[in-house]
Structure 1
């Protein structure tokens, strides 16, 4: 495989499937089976999941709720999603460890970098929950931070679209897709790949990003095999 250790970033919305909110167990099972297939190749995988299918702190702030309180509620939402994925992976025979940035001893280990790396070396899927543990930071930033800490080769950003386009392809049918693009070109064109904090972290630490359609069966394995799937953000 082209990559040995990867971090997969999933949005909370991706777990909804065709639902309006919550978790679609068929979609969850699809993800678990694809991750299991990848692990059989010897790839080490860590995962960060958002919480937008349950709660978004920034939306709560727009409604008058304290932003910090809302962000902590969003972190708890990521833990719900992380536990759901952990359960589905274990149903499929995959060994996992859930590490939380906020102490929750009854349901998750605290995040300790060396332990996370050791779990990966033993072939376990490591799920990082509760974001960075701090308000005002997104799960994109958590994904970038954890990927750098565990020395991942690449961040795989699984989305509903098959890469990065000149405009939103769901709104603009004339949008064209990039197969590869540099970090500087993303800055210059003002494209929305990740939030700027997360994107800058990747740029400064020379960590490439691949944006791809996670919902299309087999794409995850193709990406890791080096096939031309999605968009590669490189240097």
Structure 2
């Protein structure tokens, strides 16, 4: 049996279930799981809390100046079975998942200085392999030499429906059309930003889960992971 640890990079559009599959894999393999998108959401929440960003303004330079004071960490919650995000020592796991944060996160993530700081942190976490990380540029920028790269996609309508149900179940009052608009706007911004745009790595395996159950997807990806471990 091959016990060698590998690095797994999972990229893709918003609301494709990247985090769900990454958490499952990390738990099964005993690997570290890192939700890179949550890190960008935490910086976005910080910007919102300090009035650096709003509907009509974005104080980019002020945010850049404050980056050294932003501490993001992941603390494992045994009851939930995954690590929650902490911003400067405060649990913000629920706060960063709102539609309001989703509306600003692509703008914040497009700032080169923000990306550089978080990419440096992400690379440090994955230095010793044994990591599953999901995001937008993991296979292309953060870990270009990852042992397994996956690119997860689904139709915008399917993703909006999933996100809408998730928010409603959480108790948020949202409109489906607003969620769909947010998904479409984020797709455009993520794919067209100048710094580290969302693109499929040349050696990534594409998974379209529009018509897959979570179980079907996990079975397919588990098989790919096992093959990658054997190759390592």
Which has the larger helix fraction?
Answer: 2
TM-score scaled by length of structure 1: 0.39
Higher RCO structure, 1 or 2 (CA under 8 Å, sep 6+): 2
TM-score scaled by length of structure 2: 0.39
